[in-house]
Amino acid sequence: MNISRKVFGFFWAALVAFSFAACLCTFGHGSAAENAKTLSEAKEVMRAQYGVNKRITDGSYDKSLAVKCVNGTFVGKENDGVIVYKGIPFVGRQPVGELRWKAPVDVVPDNSVYEAYYYGKSCPQKEHFSEEASLYVQGEDCLYLNVWKADEKSVDGRKSGAAMRDGKKPVMVWIHGGGWFTSGTSDSTYDCHNFVKENPDVIVVSITYRLGFLGLLHLSHLPDGKDYPDAQNLAIMDQMMALKWIHENIASFGGDPDNVTLFGESAGGESVTTLPLVEGSHKYFKRVIAQSGTPVLTRTVEQSIADTNELMDMLGCKTVADLQKIDIKKFLDATDHFGMRIGPEKDGKYLPLDPYEAYANGAAKDIDILQGCNKDEMNYFMLVVGGTEPFVEMMNKRLTKNISQLTDGEKALVESFCKDVKGERYEQLCRLYNQIWFIAPLFRLSENQTKAGGKSYTYYFTVESSVPMVKSTHAIELSSVLNHPEDTRLTGRAFDETFSKTMRRMWVQFAKTGNPSLSADLSPDGKAHEWPLYDLKNKEVMVFDEFNIHPEKESERKILDWERTYFLTKYFCL
């Protein structure tokens, strides 16, 4: 059946409006948010979560909530057994004015005391599909992080866990998704209060980074571009600077700087699988958890330059100086045109020319990896663009451009794959790009990491939404992983509580020990779950069925079409 853009637009708006108030309890944790009776009231409650962290000069603060760091002493807030520190800057100067498109500046020592009560600003962006984005406080001064830790005075907070070293807790660093051009840590989905409340034996940090062409714009080829050699990879450089800050300061919060796990979804998953390829990065973390993200959407130098030139033409600019004069709203309107074409650049300097080859050559063999994807990833993108008709129109154009670089034999393989998919054209395109963007890159990364002697634990998430056509789509596992059962924007329902808790426990167990397997006494469902390492013969994955978490050989589920789509991983940014 064909569903029109209008019908789908109504469906999606209704879904967002329905879930908007539900997600507010993430912010309130039992406060007035639970009693907000109208959407207008709910928005006011959300806006109350934003403010300006001020310098404290009169000594009037709770010393038990204060943590001394290199760049200041930061005072958090305690709520229900969890202390949160919001909006801590991890740079010495924010990337504004003359620092736009410049590498992040390291912090300087500071003995002042500051509030850490409010989220920092989100990088400028256009609204995505959620009304929540319109409530973000935005600005180019956007490089901040947030820390959640259990209150040690609480009973739960005294749980040490077997993985603590010298009294320090394992640290999990969340990197948000959003296609490299949207979202931020202040999104209610990424509030980690519930996660830490349930798992007080870890500390969780979330970090921001520059988005879109503020963080990923090639400029060095322009007449005055030589002063901007890093502009194409600033998003990754921002993340590296945040990790440096965490390494130098997290012990003051009770965290172990030598036991850090990165985890992220979508662009966050791409981030955590790209960061191990940055020279010098391994001293900042030892494990990564990548949800629906690999370096597949990184760009070549040629692609980056072409995108910049197209942007310059759209804005009528010739130089970086011209770009600096463009109003930020006009700039965002223009960059919105590029969508999923924005991503880090494989420049051969900061990032390798071929990330897959780098993995095969052992660039990350000392980093433990847990990674996976969802069964129906592309359904999310179909919904966001407005339904089956606009999705088919958009993806047909993309596919026509993509296959132009293939050999005749390769084109025949792609066409054969599509013909074998039963159903309408949108189903063929969803299945094909599930393979191109998510499944094939996932398995190639697991293959190459294993070949190099590294560890990769691989999963396949299959739980479906109760909302028609959403299925097991992109990002649907977030409410389970980050412990937000109230957020039903994608799920349409709360997934089984024991299933979700078991999944979270595996994530935490991996962060603590490097192995996500659970013994029966550790598992919320009372069953032992042995998660086998990926190996080149059996190619086993952990299948996350809602009522049957189990390992399975890839060949039994036939997740990947090894003959007709795996070869496409040699073409980036398809």
CB under 8 A, 24+ apart: contacts of 13-18: 15/467, 15/489, 15/492, 16/129, 16/130, 16/131, 16/489, 17/131, 18/488
For 274, the token pair is: 């790209």
Is residue 134 part of the annotated active site? The answer reads: no
280/432 Cα distance (integer angstroms) = 36
Q: What is the DSSP string of 437-472?
A: IIIHHHHHHHHHHHHTT--EEEEEE----SSTTT-S
Task: Report yes or no: 339 and 363 within 8 Å, Cβ to Cβ.
Answer: no
DSSP state of 425: H
Helical H segments across 316-465, by residue range:
320-324, 328-335, 355-360, 379-385, 388-403, 408-419, 425-434, 440-451
Characterize 319-328 residue by residue with b for buried, 16 or more Cβ atoms within 10 angstroms of its Cβ, and e for exposed.
Answer: ebeebeeeee
Count how many Cα atoms sit within 13 Å of the Cα of residue 166 in the half-sphere of its side chain: 7
Q: What is the DSSP string of 524-538?
A: TTS--B--PPP-TTT
Stated length of the chain: 574
- Report residue 263: phi and psi, to 5°: -140, 145
Task: Report yes or no: 245 and 206 within 8 Å, Cβ to Cβ.
Answer: no
146/86 Cα distance (integer angstroms) = 4
374/492 Cα distance (integer angstroms) = 16
Catalytic residue among 186, 266, 292, 517: 266
Catalytically active residues are 266
